[in-house]
Amino acid sequence: MTKKLLLSGNEAVAMAAQYCKVNLGVGYPGTPSSEILDEFSKLGGKAEWAPNEKTALEVAIGGAFAKGRTLATMKHVGVNVAADPLFTIAYSGVPGGLVLISADDPGLASSQNEQDNRRYAISAGVPMFEPASSQECYDFLIKAFELSEKFKTLVLFRMTTRVCHSKTLVVPREDDYPAAVINYEKDAKSNVMIPAYARIAHRKMRNRLAEIAELNEAGEFIVEKMRSSEIGIIATGISYMHAEDAAPEASILKLGLTYPLPLERIRNFASKVKKCYVIEEGDPIVTETCLANGIQVVGKNEIYRYGELNVNRVRRILSGDVTPEAAPVPGKPPQLCVGCPHRKSYEGMKALDLIVAGDIGCYTLGVLPPYEAVHTCVCMGASITTGLGMRHVMAEEQARKVVSVIGDSTFWHTGINGIVEMVYNRPATGHVVIILDNSITAMTGMQEHAGTGFHLDNSPSKKLVIEDVVKAMGVDNVDIIDSTAEYDAYCELLKKRLASNDLSVIIVRRPCILGMVKRKGK
Partner 1 sequence: MKKVTNIIFAGLGGQGVLKASDILAEILFTLDYDVKKSEVHGMSQRGGSVSSEIRFGAEVFSPMIPHGETDYLVVLEPTQVEVNISKLREGGILITPADLPLDKLSNPKAANTMFLGALSKHLTEIPEERFIEVIKRFLPEKVHEVNIEAFKLGRG
Ligand X SMILES: Cc1ncc(C[n+]2csc(CCOP(=O)(O)OP(=O)(O)O)c2C)c(N)n1
Residues that bind partner 1 (CB under 8 A): 4, 6, 31-32, 109-110, 161-162, 165-169, 238, 241-242, 244-245, 310-312, 326, 329-337, 362, 365, 443, 445, 514
Q: Counting runs of H as helices and runs of E as strands, what totals does the chain give?
A: 22, 19
Q: Answer with the entry of ligand X, ligand SF4, partner 1, none that 78 interacts with (C-beta below 5 to 8 A by kind).
A: ligand X
Q: Which of residues 423-452 bind ligand SF4 (CB under 6 A)?
A: 438, 442
Residue 31 and residue 161: Cα distance in Å, rounded?
A: 8
Using the minimum distance from each CB to partner 1, give the nearer residue, 23 or 364.
364
Task: Work out how close the CB of 264 gets to ligand SF4 at its nearest, in angstroms, rounded to a whole number.
Answer: 51
Of 88-96, 101-109, 435-443, 496-504, the window that binds ligand X (rule: CB under 6 A) is 435-443
Cis peptide before 369 (omega within 30 of 0): no
Are 165 and 137 in contact by the 8 Å Cβ rule? The answer is no
Nearer Cβ to partner 1 (32/260)? 32
Please list every residue from 2 through 31 that binds ligand X, using CB under 6 A. 28-30
Q: How many residues does the chain have?
A: 522
Q: Which residues contact 316 (CB under 8 A, 6 or more apart)?
A: 304, 322, 325
The least CB distance from residue 32 to ligand X, in Å, is 10
CA–CA dist 447, 36 (Å, integer): 12
Between β-strands 24-27 and 69-75, what pairing exists: parallel, antiparallel or unpaired?
A: parallel
Q: 273 burial class (0-12, 13-18, 19+ CB within 10 angstroms)?
A: buried
Please identify which residue in 77, 101, 273, 456 interacts with ligand X, judged by CB under 6 A. 77
d(CA 320, CA 326): 16
Least gap, CB of 297 to ligand SF4 (angstroms): 45
Which of ligand X, partner 1, ligand SF4, none has residue 28 at its interface (CB below 5 to 8 Å by kind)?
A: ligand X
Alpha-carbon Rg of the chain, whole angstroms? 25
Question: Residue 516 interacts with ligand SF4 (CB under 6 A)?
Answer: no
Distance of alpha carbon 80 from alpha carbon 146, whole angstroms: 26
Determine if 483 is a binding residue for ligand SF4 (CB under 6 A): no
Q: What is the DSSP letter of 273?
A: S
Nearer to partner 1, 312 or 477 (CB): 312
C-beta nearest to ligand X: residue: 407
| Phi, psi dihedral angles at 369 (to 5 degrees) | -60, 150
The site that binds ligand SF4 (CB under 6 A) totals a number of residues, namely 10
CB of 35 to ligand X, least distance (A): 13
- Which residue, 72 or 466, is less far from ligand SF4 as judged by CB? 466
Alpha-carbon distance 378 to 383, whole Å?
8
What torsion do the CA atoms of 452, 455, 461, 465 make, to the nearest 10 degrees? -30
Closest distance between ligand SF4 and the C-beta of residue 446, in Å? 8
Asked if 513 interacts with ligand SF4 (CB under 6 A), we say: yes
Q: Where are the beta strands (DSSP E) in 209-357?
A: 222-225, 231-236, 251-255, 257-259, 275-279, 355-357
User: Least distance from C-beta 237 to ligand X, angstroms?
Assistant: 21
Sheet holding 24-27, edge to edge: 47-49, 24-27, 69-75, 97-104, 154-160, 128-129, 257-259
Residue 280 Cβ vs partner 1, minimum distance, rounded to whole Å:
15
Establish if 160 lies at the interface with ligand X (CB under 6 A).
no
State the minimum distance, in angstroms, from the CB of residue 229 to ligand SF4. Answer: 55
Residue 445 binds what, of ligand X, partner 1, ligand SF4, none (CB under 5 to 8 Å, by partner type)? partner 1
Binding to ligand X in span 38-67, by CB under 6 A:
53
Binding site for ligand X (CB under 6 A): 28-30, 53, 75, 77-78, 81, 360-363, 380, 407-410, 438, 440-444, 512
